[in-house]
Amino acid sequence: MSEMTYRDALNLALREEMRRDPAMVVFGEDVALYEGSFKVTRGLLAEFGEERIKDTPISENTIIGMAVGAAMGGLRPVVELMTVNFALLAMDQLINHMAKIRSMFGGQTYLPMVVRMPGGGGSQLAAQHSQSLESYFMHCPGMRIAYPATPADAKGLLKSAIRDNNPVVFLEHELLYNSKGEVPDDPEFLAPFGRANVVRAGADVTIVAYARMTVLALQAAGELEKEGISCEVIDLRTLNPLDAETFIASARKTGRAVVVEECWRSAGLGGDLAHRIHEACFDSLLAPVKRVAGLDVPMPYSREIEKLCIPRVETIVSAVRDVLAASV
């Protein structure tokens, strides 16, 4: 095990997989000479050369379309969009082509491609560059979705995504890039898709979260422990496939649940998670499921106002207290 940042864990995953598979290529805006907007592709051009690490024009629809064609042609592309917000310019290729081609061709072709996209708020980048759009992708069948919370999962899930023969949307929260954690050194270490992690065991309430919200949920659980409240924290890790079995079993055990997401509350992922818990645990719940989500507003530029729009540790703590005080 080695301690490294989330950023370096992603970089290591790319290096290991490129060494393992000569069919793997990386391209996107500024991924080669500039080494990526968040430096995830640092050093790859020097090691693998310009045939496998390529800068592209500023055209997200073209980048994804190139990757679709490359994957159908026998390569294994990993593309980087500068930010998930720019994926909106590529939705035709993502939704109408990448997600559907394997099904429309009756399984006669594979689409082994990964689209890496940084996202999330909290960096004071205002309304057009601070969005959490994971529910957009979850709504469309045909693509897998990963959103790791830790450096270990960043490495393990990215390696699993690269080896998968299905298209994968790989989301990375911008505020996690500098976070540190223990990462397995084994180049064959893989984190499985569709298997959530119980990152903290507890008895009083279940907190379901993912990505940066998992980090905040763990901090909230630490604060609540001082009050004698035992929280079980579930990190989803992948959003498609979604491991509902793990968080439903936890909610059935504790009798109470709080679901935490950074995306907007209206038609957000949390509504789906809460419904699944309610539907499966109706006879076990001791209180209504509580949702914590981003506010339904365009993200403001002001740092202090931005903080109010994104779930915080104190928001989660308050939600847990509310669900413990409530009853069905």
Active-site amino acid positions: 60, 129
Largest interatomic CA distance in the chain: 61
Handedness of CA 41, 43, 49, 55 (dihedral sign): positive
Tell which residue, 34, 71, 27, has the closest CA to residue 50: 27
Query: Considering just the CA atoms, what is the radius of gyration of the chain in Å?
Result: 20
Q: Looking at the DSSP assignment, which residues form a beta bridge with residue 55?
A: 28
User: What 3-state class would DSSP assign to 319?
Assistant: helix
Tell which residue, 254, 265, 250, 270, has the closest CA to residue 297: 265
Question: What's the CA gap between 256 and 55, in Å, rounded?
Answer: 49
Q: Looking at the DSSP assignment, which residues form a beta bridge with residue 182?
A: 3
Question: What's the CA gap between 17 and 61, in Å, rounded?
Answer: 25
Tell which residue, 55, 52, 74, has the closest CA to residue 63: 55
